[in-house]
Structure 1
Amino acid sequence: MLAATWRAVQPDGAIMVWSDLRSAPSLLRTLDSLHPRPVTRDRYVELDVLGHAKVALPTAPRVVAGAASSTLPANRAISRIAREVYRTLARAGLAQWLPTRCAYVIAAAPPTDDSAVALLTRWQPRRLYFSVHSGLPGATQKLNIRLFDEAGKLVAIAKVAAHVAADETISREIAALQYAATHAAIASRVPRLVDHGTIGARPFLVQSIVEGTPATAVGARLDPRVLELLRVLAQSTSEQMRFDEAAGVQAVYRRVARVIEAGAPPWPRLLARLQQRVRQTAPQLITTVLAHRDFTPWNLLLTADRANVVDWEFAQTQHVPLCDLVHYLVQYAVLVEKSDVRATVGACRDVLQHASTMAAIGRRPLSRREQQFALAFYLLDTVSFYQANYLVQRPPFWQVDWLEGVWFNMSMEVLSEAVDG
């Protein structure tokens, strides 16, 4: 599904259009079919690691509607949504935020009520940047709004659930930021919760801006700032308890049970085997931590001396240590270093023994059993999460690639090894 953006014309007159199309050529072909003036390759600016393309277009005095598919029904639907959003904002007296010369590319799942308008009226920003995300089916269908002050400085980001399926993720981020605010060591590393509540039936939050440059641009696989952040998170939020009683463990087990009951092959059998491996290798007592669960290079913002982390929508208290570290290593290897599956698995396993000590999550290099446990639980959590969303709606192709590529092969390697002491 198209995760799209609409934005006011930039000071230089360019229009920034974002699309989930995977390659620049396909993006340009789609834009060529929609725009009255040809879009040449020198207009192409950037194609980032997830395939989100940023393109500067000549200003057009009309609404430009685009979709991942260039079929007429899709374009008509997108155009209708664009007109409805424009009219809604105009009725609310917010038409001054919409320049007469701009382009719109709207996602297929906008809010169905006036929650966005109510939030804008409440905060009265001077400039707006809208982004409707529907990348994870049933999980992240939300409206992101960037709020600027009179000087044009970005001062806050608002998030509004655009669908009932996103209520949980917005509420989860609110809870995580509230939890982080009570821990002085990490409060300055995460966004500050400026405001939250409900508008209509949908939850919303407003959070402060966090400084830093994404680790995709300036980091390294084992950047000491990232490891130091993991150490701070682990030390500040650790709780010791029985493994099976941890809230994070119970949440994963419930999700796995739902996927297995649904019986969509081949994942139920794989998840059942991973769960068995987790139970074989899990310690009776465990020190749990607050886990981000989307600890990816683009959610880590690096400054000269530290790492900060944003987007806490999937956070979980009382979770298994090392899962965030494994997720970061895998995502960095595949999406930043462009490693193949085997190299990714090998790098992850090699680094685990030492990185956990460097991050002070463990006090010594991990034994083989501890490595098996960390990797198996990470895979159980991650694969079941995406498979649960797959049951709601078929995910975008890049998520299918992950499931059928890296995670599946990692799972097979973990399961193929004998468990020792």
Structure 2
Amino acid sequence: MISIGRFQVFFIKSMTSLVVSSPSATATHFGYPGGSPRFILPSSAGALNNSLRSLLSPWQQALFAARRVLGWNDGPGLRIDDDLISELSNFLDVKSIAISLGTPGPHNKKTLLLMDGSDRGVAFAKVADRQITRRLLENEAYWLQRLADARKQGPRVPTIVALTEFKKHLILIQSSLSGTKPAQLQLAHASFLSNLHDLSSQVLPWGETPARVKIEQAFEACLGLLPQLWVDRYSKAQDVLRRQLNTPLEAVPAHRDFVPWNAKLSNGELYVFDWEYAAEGYPPAHDIFHYVLLPKVLQRPQLKNPTEVLQAASKFMSQFSLSERTRFSLESQFLAYLLDVCGLYINSWEQWQRDRVVESYGELIDQMLEQAK
């Protein structure tokens, strides 16, 4: 039996209109891992093909192989809703589906890997079942279409196949991307960011930038959650930004989740996906900071001070000749970036919680404030 825990209750509630329980004789899928499923995989997945590997991280692939060797049972028999396959088949030759359930939380979306009769991945589909996640998918669709219109000169992104409704779910289908995951910032990243920034660029006082507005809205929306430490931290950081960014700066589009696992390198060009959080009017170094810092925090290395992030960002910008405006007031851009990410995380919570990213970023904010005295 499947254990009843937070993840499993979430699994039952969130998948009832996409997946149904089925007797073993008619089951086409199983929940994996069996105790607390994070994926719904085809019953034929005795070994992971290349398409299914794209859905699982390397450690999840290793765990899958180990469980098979040890003969551990997977979850109960399941079947994908026939109407869902029929709906998706209106746009693509879909014969099989694998599903990633994502992480429980207000921003949770399911990701579907759509495969043809040869178990070859032909596309991915994101599924939103709440108002907040619908807005994120609509934003991603907007940016993918906008970037597609500028494709000759613009950034490389997936192609929208369809944006469709299914049983009160919004589904965004987009082409799959092939290539390798680039760990280090390189020329392809600089070209990508330059093309993204060229879409629209304004020189604005900090107080008039959309970035400042988004940060303010995020923190004001969660003031009831914030401990006094964070109330004081946010207030002091805003004061520093108002004081330091008194000269207008360049405001450009930002991906806002620009990390190695959201990119593929192919033939020297960088293709970037997951545009849900993209927005106009951000300081130009925002995405560079995210690419450098977030993987370090998630991998748990010790960050003693902000200097290494600032040095890495500055070196990258100098090495690939990004504009002087990109390097303007880099310390203040970094402080704005830290606030933006923390506001995004905290605003997605229903109650205050311990979080490695928010805690690490909060400590960096404190060090930036100390340096600004």
Query: Would you say same fold, with TM above 0.5?
Result: yes
2 CA distance for matches of 1:53 and 1:275? 45
Change in CA separation of 1:281 and 1:361 when aligned onto 2, cut-off 3 Å:
farther
Match for 1:374 among 333, 346, 350? Answer: 333
SS in 1 for 2:347: helix
8 Å Cα contact 1:190-1:309 kept in structure 2? yes
Matched letter for residue 149 of structure 1: D
Instruction: Give the aligned CA root-mean-square deviation in angstroms.
Output: 3.4
Matched letter for residue 249 of structure 1: R
Per the alignment, residue 120 of structure 2 pairs with 153
Residues 58-207 of structure 1 mapped to structure 2, 5 A cutoff: 58=68, 64-65=74-75, 86=79, 89=81, 92=82, 116=84, 119-120=87-88, 122-123=90-91, 125-135=94-104, 137-139=105-107, 141-185=108-152, 187=154, 189-207=156-174
Per the alignment, residue 356 of structure 2 pairs with 401
Asked if 1:6 is matched to 2:40, the reply is yes
SS in 2 for 1:203: strand
Per the alignment, residue 234 of structure 1 pairs with 197
Residues 254-273 of structure 1 mapped to structure 2, 5 A cutoff: 254-273=217-236
Deviation (angstroms), 1:253:
1.5
Change in CA separation of 1:61 and 1:122 when aligned onto 2, cut-off 3 Å:
farther
Deviation (angstroms), 1:266:
3.1
2 CA distance for matches of 1:372 and 1:167? 35
SS in 1 for 2:356: helix
2 CA distance for matches of 1:195 and 1:7? 23
Per the alignment, residue 29 of structure 1 pairs with none
Residues 382-397 of structure 1 mapped to structure 2, 5 A cutoff: 382-390=341-349, 392=350
For structure 1, the 5+ residue unaligned runs are 21-44, 66-81, 94-115
Deviation (angstroms), 1:18:
12
* Count of aligned residue pairs for this structure pair: 335
Match for 2:64 among 45, 48, 55? Answer: 55
1 CA distance for matches of 2:106 and 2:321? 36
Structure 2 length normalisation: TM-score? Answer: 0.77
Change in CA separation of 1:154 and 1:17 when aligned onto 2, cut-off 3 Å:
closer
Matched letter for residue 122 of structure 2: V
Deviation (angstroms), 1:172:
1.4
Per the alignment, residue 96 of structure 1 pairs with none
SS in 1 for 2:177: coil
Matched letter for residue 64 of structure 2: V
Deviation (angstroms), 1:267:
2.1
Percent of aligned positions with the same letter in both sequences?
Answer: 19
Per the alignment, residue 212 of structure 1 pairs with 179
Structure 1 length normalisation: TM-score? Answer: 0.69
Deviation (angstroms), 1:223:
2.4
